[in-house]
Amino acid sequence: MLNWASKAELHARVPLGKLLDRGATFSSGSKLFVGGLSYNSNEVALKDAFSQHGDVIQVKVICHPVTGRSKGYVLVKFSS
Could you write out the DSSP letters of every residue in 21-43?
A: -TT----TT-EEEE-S--TT--H
Burial string for 31-42 (b: 16+ CB within 10 Å, else e) reads ebebeebeeebb
- pLDDT tens for each residue of 18-50: 555 555 554 556 888 999 999 998 999 999 999
Domain boundary assignment for the chain: 16-78
**Contact yes or no for 71/33 (Cβ under 8 A):** no
6: pLDDT strictly greater than 80:
no
pLDDT band at 66 (very low <50, low <70, confident <90, very high): very high
Round to whole Å and give the CA distance between 44 and 20.
20
| pTM metric for this prediction | 0.61
Q: Which residue has the higher pLDDT, 28 or 6?
A: 28
Residue 45 CB neighbours (<10 A): 17
- Yes or no: domain 16-78 corresponds to CATH 3.30.70.100: no
Task: Identify the CA nearest to 76 among candidates 38, 35, 25, 15.
Answer: 35
Write down the pLDDT at residue 7: 45
What's the pLDDT score for residue 60?
A: 92
In tens, the pLDDT along 46-65 reads: 999 999 989 999 999 999 99
